[in-house]
Amino acid sequence: MKTLDLYIDRTGAKCTPTADCNITERQGSYALFRHQDKVLIHWPAYSPGYADLIGGGIDEGEDSQQALWREVEEETGYKISPLPPVNSFEHYAGFHATDLAKFCNQQFYTYLFDVTPDIVPFFDGTKPTPEDGTMEWVAANDIESLPMNKIHMPSIKALLFS
């Protein structure tokens, strides 16, 4: 397995794998749901204090879209009929999942969707998620100032601010 030049954790801290570390190849699919000037994020229980995009790993036999809609349902509880994205962004990066003590060479597929409340419910404040976290709609302009999982910042910047 190839070791990349840079691995970061959720906080953006640089991490260096040791020679005995198991580095895995991974693919992940993520959604940015946008309603007017807000985006839906979640605060997962496995990463206290850090916001994340909705999504996760692509399982064997899935493509990025199948994985995305499965992850959306798992993480939000919403069963949403697949939608065409407004835009998408792919990037490859080294990620250190500190909660799993694992280094990943990961391909990230991130999709931007413009939604209405009948597609993805819009609410004020936070709402619990099926996986013991919370989710909330935040102003798109505020997302960069949140304690956000830094591995997603290239996608966020490309899809929301370019």
Tens-place pLDDT, residues 14-44:
999 988 888 999 999 999 999 999 999 999 9
Rounded CA separation 105/26 (Å): 6
Computed on alpha carbons and rounded to an integer, the radius of gyration of the chain in Å comes to: 15
Range of the domain at 147: 25-160
Greatest mean pLDDT among 1-10, 20-29, 108-117 lies in 108-117
Domain-located, residue 15? no
| Whether the predicted pLDDT of 1 surpasses 70 | no
Q: What mean pLDDT is reported for the chain?
A: 94
What's the pLDDT tens digit per position in 76-104? 999 999 999 999 999 999 999 888 888 99
Confidence label for 51 from pLDDT (cuts 50, 70 and 90)? very high
Domain-located, residue 105? yes
Domain-located, residue 136? yes
Number of domains in the chain: 1
Residues 9, 15 contacting (CB under 8 angstroms): yes
CATH number, residue 77: 3.90.79.10
- All residues at 6 or more sequence positions from 113 whose CB lies less than 8 Å from its CB, including other chains: 31, 32, 33, 34, 83, 85, 86, 120
